[in-house]
Amino acid sequence: MLTLASQSPRRADLLRGAGIPFRVVAPPEDEALPAQAASFPALVKALALRKARAVAARTRGLVLGADTIVVCKGRILGKPRSRAEARDMLRFLSGKRHAVYTGVALVSGRRCLGGCERTEVTFRTLSDADLRRYLATGEPMDKAGAYAIQGEGAALVSAVRGCYTNVIGLPVPRVLAMLAEFGAAPG
Catalytic: which of 67, 128, 130, 142?
67
User: Where are the strands (E) in the chain, listed by range?
Assistant: 2-4, 22-24, 63-72, 75-77, 97-108, 111-123, 157-161
**Residue 139 burial (CB count, 10 A):** 17
Instruction: Determine phi and psi for 38, rounding to 5 degrees.
Output: -70, -25
Give the Cα separation of 92 and 78 in Å (integer).
13
Establish whether 130 is a catalytic residue: no
Catalytic residues: 67
